[in-house]
Structure 1
Amino acid sequence: MSDSCKKVYITTPIYYVNDVAHIGHAYTTIIADMLARYSRLAGYDTFFLTGTDEHGQKIADSAAVRNKSPKEYADEISGKFKNLWDDFDISYDKFIRTTDEYHKIGVQKAFQKMFDKGDIYKGNYEGNYCVSCETFFTDAQLIDNEGCPDCGRPTTIVKEESYFFRLSNYEDKLLALYENNPEFILPKAKAKEIVNFVKAGLHDLSISRTSFDWGVKLPDSMNDDKHVMYVWMDALMNYITALGYGTDEKNMEFWPGKVHLVGKDILRFHAIFWPAFLMSLELPLPDHIAAHGWWTRDGEKMSKSKGNVVDPKEIADAYGLDAFRYFMLREVPFGQDGDFSQRALMDRINSDLGNDLGNLLNRIQGMSGKYFDFKVTSKDVEKYHQKELDEAHELIKNAEPLIYNMQINRYLEELWKVLTIANKAIGDYEPWAMMKNGREEEAMALVALIVNIMSKVSIMLDSVMPEKIAQIAKSLGITVDNASYKALIIEKGIVADTVITKIDALFPRIEEELIATAEVQKAETVVEKPRKEAQKKESTSEEDNIITIDQFFETSLKIGTIVEAEEVPKSKKLLKLQVDVGEENNRQILAGIKEFYSAESLVGTQACVVSNLKPAKLMGMLSEGMLLAAKDENGLSLLRPETSKVAGTKVS
């Protein structure tokens, strides 16, 4: 990010208060917190917003089921979100609630401005409405003439008077935005689906409701009390009302936003509706709409019925908050779906954090204490180790741009390469041999090199693991702040003479899973036992295997484009395929179709893919999905779309 950009505005989506926070909410918030902490460290004036979305029919219905008023229910769930972020030491500057009075005033002023401009008009609407998704759908979009294409639940026909936003007027402007700003939507691969959706034609958007009253009323000047605003218009405005739009606008200097972080399921609202609203309000647009993927657990979609929902606080309490933060940021490329397992978390803690980072600090403490009474001077480090310092500085310089491009896992990979320089130097130069041969000056320079590398990496890791880095900084005798960032990172300086303080191991090795397996046992009871019992039967009727619509939609089916194909050596059946399913990276899928298809005949063709299947190894190679096919006495045929579809299109 250029030095001229002095203000940084980071936002999470405001979380819908129909349930308590889960690992997906934690993931978004930890990413945003990392960006905000790094921005402050780099010296940027930073504003970090999070909060809760509390209006709409779904909230009113959830409250009624619990015999509470919508406000009472919203207060309860919103409080749980805020308490969790406080427990996680999330460094937000403001926690907004859409029930806050200043927010309502700002939304009403925005509505009025768009109405006065002619972008809002009154009409009548009849359509298929999904209460769960708070969205209307056309007849052509429905599943079996009734089901919501996003969640599968039944829609209802809603016919009512409505105010409309002239979204159709902004089709060309939106397409120009995407073309002229290729990084507006991150990852870039996500932009394709948005561009295709807009090119298919935009319809004017119904932005008010009369069928319920739990929402923001229209401005008094409209003299139309029976309408409340569509929840998405209300919610999206939080990004500017939190800065005082329509009330006290002193913080509007932070607008436009640097990064809006969202889940991929709400990308369309943020990448189409939101910029159109901003264009209508004649406000500048944010730099990035960054959409991350979803999390599964042990390869399976999380659900309450399976008992496998990950409680982020339980994980953080058991394994440590900073270890949890590191895992979430490092484990999966931004934009792709991730899989959580205790074993994967333990591997990251034991390998990356324990062996690479923690052990390097232990070596500093050991060498400085044994050879130099914990006193370290850097006066000769550049004399003996300029090459290693230059390599470290180059890696750090290349790592920094990855942060705001939302390649945080790669950012961490680059920092771990810097740690490798330090660990390798100890083995290459053997300080114990130097001391034995009377080369104390060289041994001190080597210890100082390790201290300098650890100090620089610690500064860059502070936004990722603030608590652990504070302990490392104390041990090294340095401070982590903007002054040290400038001196050691920007100016490539060296650490002043320091005294090392011995501390306990930061990341003790973990041999066994720390969380009781009650949830796993529950999952086995719900899923595995019926399956095992069924396997004991010699035959099972179709009636016995009837499933619900919710069970069906736990399977994610997508259209995949086969971009590469090759035979698997020594296998009579397997082909190794690289398949584009609309994600940043292609999926590798091993398919047992070699007897029926040649590798070259598949390249460029499409097939239906089970995209949320737990990855498995076949003949030592990872397979990340499954192609759907039908086989009878005439052979095998892949299931394909009748006409070409955009890679990643959902099958429903």
Structure 2
Amino acid sequence: MKTFYITTAIDYVNGSPHLGHAYEKVLTDVIARFRRMMGDDVYFLTGTDEHGQKIQQSARAQGVEPQAFVDGIAPQFKEMCARLDISNDDFIRTTEPRHKQVVCNLLQQLYDKGEIYKAEYQGYYSTRQEQFLQEKDRNEDGTWPEIFGEVTEITESNYFFKLGAYQPWLIDYIKSHPDFIIPRYRAKQVLEFLSEPLNDLCISRPKDRLEWGIPLPFDPDFVTYVWFDALTNYYSAVADKPGLWPASFHVIGKDILVPPHAVYWPIMLQAAGLAVPQSILAHGWWSVNGSKMSKSTGNFVEPIEFVDNFGVDALRYFLIREMSVGQDSDFSMDQFLVRYNSELANNLGNLVNRTLNMTNRFATAVVPPAGDPGEPEAALQALWEKTRDEVIPLFEEFQFNVGLERALAFITATNAYIEQRAPWKLGKSEEPADQALLQTSLATMAEALRLGTSLMQAVIPGSVDKIRGVLGYTAGHVWRDELNWDDRLQGNAVAKTCILFPRPEKKA
């Protein structure tokens, strides 16, 4: 089996989960589930980033210790994963001993090699972003962009990592590895960033300014700054698991591609003599109702509350169906309800219940044997083979929204087949030929339902399991074997009904 190690970014625990967190988890979960279905040995990591100045300040504002503060918020992210049916194998917290030890080992190794040095720094610092700034970061009028908040000029000693020494290597690596950054057009963005000389990277903060961090192993008066702490989680989680490193995919938001993941991280690994991840997949941003998400204005989607109202698979489906991986997209209740009603309830849900209802009505709730296929049956089977052979490559290229569209088109065609064959009319006939055709049509409906939904398994796993259950079917261990049209459902007892996607009332 091929090892496939995939990660999300770890979420900063200075606030509750939002739609962007949910999307990244669901997207990564769909990739992980699909790779498992394709036969890979998948290991899926997510987690939380729990150090830094913002957390120290928030903890003080609440009158609690930082550890108690993060212990109160990290479980919200774990709960979100559980509620979204995320199949992660591990959840790492950067406050765990296993992570801290690997970070310290890595820092000591690089310090011993001369890759880390101490120097005095004088310049501008953004507390909000927890980063030093340069003149090029200013607006044209000399002011600082609002994103940086209050900017102060400071002078202090810190430790620096020799980032610039590896700039030529990284440029060559990106140019010679076209799949390192996905979508590929984002590699141009990284190379543009690398067209200017890289400054060495400040990797520490003095303890008198920031206490909440991992102490440097070679100087306990300083703590590790975000890069060697947060980024190292991808490696620290599997450092004791042979065969998993390097990661196959890091799935991240486009805002943290440059410089953290596409510049700092590969250079850190190269300096430490560790392999670079195969690929970094940068996804887009979600807006809500055409505007930036904002809790203060109420323009916000709370994932767990949404799941409570509409079900987990409805949210998973919409997130994957609506966004083209790598591009931005907008979440609106109106568009969600269009997808929910037209595609899930009226199309897929309708097919499920028509199949169950007519099998109960005309075949004593048992899937009958199919006779020789006529032209409509042959056409539907041919469409299935075409759909299957198109969807798998689309999923392999992360075009899940297009793959879902093709799968839904097959469901639509199956509903059209039912209208054409009209089993309710055949059931009224006493002609042997009509009765034989009725049996064939019922068997065809059930098999098409089984097959069509098998393509949605990674996206709406709970619903697919329920559909298999009401068809009296247990899937085998080899997913590709599930994609062949045959008579495996013959003789199965089916349920009377199954309401997967009840019609919701519009909610704000």
Q: Is TM > 0.5 for Structure 1 vs Structure 2?
A: yes
Q: How does 1:381-530 map to 2 (within 5 A)?
A: 385-432=377-424, 434=426, 436=429, 438-483=433-478, 485-489=479-483, 493-497=486-490, 498-510=492-504, 512-515=505-508
The one-character-per-residue Cα deviations of 1:69-125 (angstroms, maximum 9, x if unpaired) are: 111111111122222323333222111110101101001111122233333222222
- Residue in structure 1 matched with residue 5 of structure 2 by the alignment: 9
Q: C-alpha separation between the residues in 1 aligned to 2:475 and 2:203?
A: 48
Gaps of 5+ in 1: 516-652
Distance of 1:363 and 1:479 partners within structure 2:
21
1:321 matched to 2:316: no
Shift of 1:317: 0.6
Greater shift, 493-502 or 307-316, is seen at 493-502
| Compared CA separation, residues 58 and 367, structure 1 to 2 (3 A) | same
Aligned equivalent of 1:578: none
SS of residue in 1 equivalent to 2:243? helix
8 Å contact from structure 1 (residues 124, 161) kept in 2: yes
Distance in 1 (alpha carbons) for counterparts of 2:97 and 2:211? 16
Which residue of the partner structure matches residue 218 of structure 1?
216
Question: Are 2:164 and 2:198, in contact at CA under 8 Å, matched by a contact in 1?
Answer: yes
2:30 maps to which residue? 34
What is residue 349 of structure 1 aligned with on the other side? Answer: 340
Q: Which of 2, 9, 20 is 1:24 aligned to?
A: 20
Deviation at 1:330, TM superposition (A): 0.8
Matched letter for residue 37 of structure 1: R
CA–CA separation in structure 2 for the residues paired with 1:14 and 1:252 = 22
CA distance in 1, matches of 2:161, 2:92: 25
> Structure 1, residues 169-193: CA drift from partner, whole Å, max 9, x if none?
2222222222222232222232221
Using the TM superposition, give the Cα deviation of residue 148 of structure 1 relative to its aligned residue in structure 2, in angstroms. 4.3
- Kindly tell me: are residues 118 and 296 of structure 1, through their superposed partners in 2, closer, same or farther at Cα, counting changes over 3 Å? same
User: Residue type of the partner of 1:216?
Assistant: I
Per the alignment, residue 222 of structure 2 pairs with: 227
Q: CA deviation at 1:152?
A: 4.4
1:313, CA displacement in angstroms?
1.2
1:382 positional shift:
6.2
Cα distance in 1 between the residues matched to 2:271 and 2:372: 58
Letter in 2 for 1:312: P
Counterpart mapping for 1:231-310 below 5 A? 231-243=226-238, 245=239, 249=240, 251-268=241-258, 269-310=260-301
1:472: how far off? Answer: 0.8
Per-residue deviation, residues 146-200 of structure 1 (Å, max 9, x unmatched): 5247x14232223222222222122222222222222322222322211211122
Q: Distance in 2 between matches of 1:317 and 1:202?
A: 47
Letter of the 1:335 counterpart: G
- 1:238: how far off? 0.2
Q: TM-score, normalised on structure 2? A: 0.92
Query: How many residues get paired?
Result: 499
Structure-1 residue corresponding to 2:53: 57
Q: Give the aligned residue type for 2:389.
A: K
Deviation, 1:351, is: 0.5
Q: How does 1:137-176 map to 2 (within 5 A)?
A: 137-143=133-139, 144-148=141-145, 151-176=147-172
Structure 2 contact 127–150 (Cα < 8 Å) conserved:
no
Q: Is the 8 A contact 1:488 1:494 kept in 2?
A: no
- What residue number does 2:182 align with? 186
| 1:386 Cα deviation from its structure 2 partner | 4.2
Correspondence list, 1:78-93, <5 A: 78-93=74-89
- Deviation string for 1:557-579 (max 9, x for gaps)? xxxxxxxxxxxxxxxxxxxxxxx
Partner of 2:356 in structure 1? 365
Q: CA deviation at 1:387?
A: 4.2
Identity %: 37
Decide whether the 8 Å contact of 2:50 with 2:94 is kept in 1: yes
**Which structure would you say has the larger RCO, counting Cα contacts within 8 Å and 6 or more residues apart?**
2
- The verdict on how the C-alpha distance between 1:152 and 1:112 changes in structure 2, with shifts beyond 3 A counting, is closer
Q: Which residue of 2 aligns with 1:541?
A: none
SS at match of 2:9: coil
- Alpha carbons of structure 1 residues 118 and 397: separation in structure 2 relative to 1, 3 Å: farther
Deviation at 1:12, TM superposition (A): 1.2
Deviation at 1:26, TM superposition (A): 0.9
One-letter amino acid of the structure 1 residue matched with residue 409 of structure 2: K
Quote the offset at 1:453 in angstroms: 2.0
Name which of structure 1's ranges 312-321 and 175-184 shifts more when overlaid on structure 2.
175-184
In 2, Cα distance between equivalents of 1:381 and 1:167: 69
Cα RMSD, aligned residues only: 2.2
Q: What is the letter of the counterpart of residue 497 of structure 2?
A: I
Which amino acid counterpart does residue 507 of structure 1 have in structure 2? Answer: F
With over 3 angstroms needed to count, the CA separation of the structure-2 counterparts of 1:508 and 1:73, relative to structure 1, is: same
Quote the offset at 1:53 in angstroms: 0.3
Greater displacement, 25-34 / 139-148? 139-148
2:14/2:55 contact within 8 Å kept: yes
Question: Which SS does the other structure have where 2:455 is aligned?
Answer: helix
Q: In the superposition, relative to structure 1, how do residues 184 and 430 fare at CA in structure 2: closer, same or farther (>3 Å)?
A: same
Tell me, yes or no, if the aligned pair for 1:21 and 1:81 is still in contact at 8 Å.
yes
* Superposition deviation, residue 383 in structure 1: 7.4
Structure 1 length-normalised TM: 0.72
Whether the 8 Å contact between 1:9 and 1:46 is mirrored in structure 2 is yes
1: CA distance, partners of 2:476 / 2:142 = 59
CA positional deviation for 1:370? 2.7
2:63 corresponds to 1:67: yes
Give CA deviations for 1:30-65 in whole Å, capped at 9, x if unaligned.
112222223333332221111110111121112112
Equivalents in 2 of 1:225, 1:238: separation in Å? 21
Contact 2:476 2:482 in 1 (8 A): no
Kindly state the Cα deviation for residue 359 of structure 1 after the two structures are TM-superposed: 0.7
Moved more, 181-190 or 25-34: 181-190
- Secondary structure in 1 matching 2:216: coil
Contact 2:126 2:149 in 1 (8 A): yes
Which residue identity does 1:329 align to in structure 2? I
Structure-2 change in CA distance of 1:169 and 1:443 (3 Å): farther
Q: CA contact under 8 A between 1:381 and 1:449: conserved in structure 2? A: no
Question: Alignment partner of 1:376: what SS?
Answer: coil
- Please give the per-residue CA displacement for 1:449-506, whole angstroms capped at 9, x wherever unaligned: 22222112222222212222221111112124524x23222x5655341222222322
Deviation of residue 360 (structure 1)?
A: 0.9
Alignment-mate amino acid for residue 460 of structure 1:
L
Distance 1:258 1:401, change over 3 A: farther
